[in-house]
Structure 1
Amino acid sequence: MASSLKLADPSELAGNWLATPRAAQDTDKSPLVASNECLIDFQPNQTLGAGADCFTAWLGEQAIGWFPEPDGIAITGKEGSKILFFNRQFEGLYQGTLQSGRIITLKRPTR
């Protein structure tokens, strides 16, 4: 059976994305605040450019690349395996959950 989800072309997702972490239960006690936002460059060749160190710090392992999936965006590590998945919420907004339960939103920055 064919899927109704369209696989995005990498060129549609390449470019800058704003990544913002928050606690699973968004409270004032969360140690992660808006100042922890990172601008991450999703390069056309499906590698991560500037800002990739944020994913690396949040995940505890090196984030190297990315690829589109029908329902989101996958972030890959050194071995090319998926280390984080962002579910598509709607056009230009994705959300992923770290093993710690912290949620990271990924959205296109406003111009």
Structure 2
Amino acid sequence: MIRNAFTCKTTAWLIATLMMFFGDVAMARSLKLADPSELAGKWQVTLQDKPLDVCTIELNASQTVDGAECLGDWLSEQPTGWFTEPDGIALTGKEGAKIVFFSRQGEGLYRGTSKSGLIIILKRKVQ
């Protein structure tokens, strides 16, 4: 009787451990890294608390950024590059360090927070 209880408890722990391990593996596989060409194009950038402050940037397929002067005013430095991440887009400075990360909120809509706490909305511009 005691031996059965020990076996059931051990089995339960083993199953729980396997579910956690394989769940993490499945989650990692479900996050698809977008190809830069999928995100390249013109994007509208606004501050959440000042929706009238709008600027347009262009994410190039070569992973450079054009027209980011206005965005540089809201961040610690002007972005010069970008790269995709499984759950969003990261903008980088001239040294290649990440300046801001935009998490995906929906199709063509991303949200990021600057180091100073400004909430920045990145929205694909309809062409």
Structure 1 length normalisation: TM-score?
0.84
2:56 to 39, 60, 64: 39
**Structure 2: unaligned runs, 5 residues or longer:** 1-24
Q: Give the one of 47, 52, 62 matched to 1:21.
A: 47
- The alignment's C-alpha RMSD in Å is 1.3
Partner of 1:56: 72
Pairs within 5 Å for 1:63-102: 63-102=79-118
Over 3 Å off, 4+ runs: none
Report deviation, 1:33.
4.2
- What is the deviation of 1:80? 0.4
Shift of 1:110: 3.1
CA distance in 2, matches of 1:57, 1:106: 15
Tell me by how many angstroms 1:76 deviates: 0.2
User: Gaps spanning 5+ residues in structure 1: where?
Assistant: 24-31
- On the 8 A contact 2:76/2:115 being kept in 1, the answer is no
Bigger relative contact order, structure 1 or 2 (CA pairs below 8 A, ≥6 apart): 1
Percent of pairs with identical residues: 58
State the one-letter code of the partner of 2:101.
Answer: F
Correspondence 1:108 to 2:121: no
Provide TM-score, normalisation by structure 2: 0.74
Aligned residue for 2:70, secondary structure, equals helix
Please state if 1:11 is matched with 2:37: yes
Distance 1:43 1:103 in 2: 23
